[in-house]
Amino acid sequence: MAQKYQINLVNENTTARLAQCVAQFIKPPFIIYLSGDLGAAKTTFSRYFIQARGHSGPVKSPTFTIVEPYELGDECIFHFDCYRIQDPEELEYLGIRDYITSESICLIEWPERAANVLPPCDIHAMFRVITSTERSVIWHAVSAQGQIVLQQLKNQWEDK
Ligand code: ADP
Ligand code: MG
């Protein structure tokens, strides 16, 4: 079973393809942490992921609202950005526990900023800036479900 897998995102189109690929293997409940510096492609990945799951409108960065919800049929995607969180308890006030249900997928940018109050993730994706047009991402499977998804991703990605 795959535990760790690195992918080079040579341009934004590759990031879009990756998000579409990951999106087809994930079923709720599922939590992805997205780490990496500003501009590392966390929001860009999330945007393509949310659209790949059926959302047709825009996806804005939740930097100021901390969380943006997307209702897609029976499932709900919650896109978090914890960058501006000063005190992890802010997430408690936002009702973080209500977001984590059997029908939800959570994408959480800057999880480090709220480490103590966040539920554990299934997969932790670490993005890195390589050049102005290139990024890389390392996927770490954390849960058993995360390992299954990572293995499916790896198989499909290497197959192309
Ligand atoms: P973050 O959420 O990690 O702070 P964003 O996704 O908001 O970063 O911004 C990433 C920026 O980098 C976007 O402007 C995007 O167009 C650009 N970019 C350049 N190369 C890539 C790539 N290979 N994959 C994704 N985004 C890229
Ligand atoms: Mg962002």
Tokens of 5: 């897998």
Cβ count near 5 (within 10 Å)? 18
Q: How far is the CA of 61 from the centre of ligand 2 (A)?
A: 6
DSSP state of 122: S
Tokens of 121: 């993730």
What pLDDT sits at residue 137?
A: 98
With a Cβ cut-off of 6 Å, ligand 1 is lined by 9, 11-12, 15, 36, 38-44, 61, 109, 127, 133-135
What pLDDT sits at residue 69?
A: 95
* For helices 144-159 and 12-23, angle between their N-to-C axes, nearest 10 degrees: 130
What pLDDT sits at residue 47?
A: 98
Backbone Cα Rg of the chain: 15
Best residue for ligand 1 mutational test, from 10, 12, 81 (most atoms within 8 Å of Cβ): 12
What pLDDT sits at residue 89?
A: 84
- Which residues lie near ion ligand 2 (Cβ < 5 Å)? 42-43, 61, 109
Give the containing element (helix H, strand E) for 88. none
User: Is 93:121 a contact under the CB 8 Å cutoff?
Assistant: no
pLDDT one-digit tens code per residue, 61-90: 999 999 999 999 999 999 999 999 988 888
Nearest to 121 by CA among 140, 96, 94, 137: 140
Give the containing element (helix H, strand E) for 37. none
What pLDDT sits at residue 91?
A: 86
Task: Give the ligand whose atoms come closest to the C-alpha of residue 132.
Answer: 1
| C-alpha span between 95 and 85 (Å, rounded) | 14
Positions of the chain with pLDDT under 70 = 2
Amino acid at 101: T
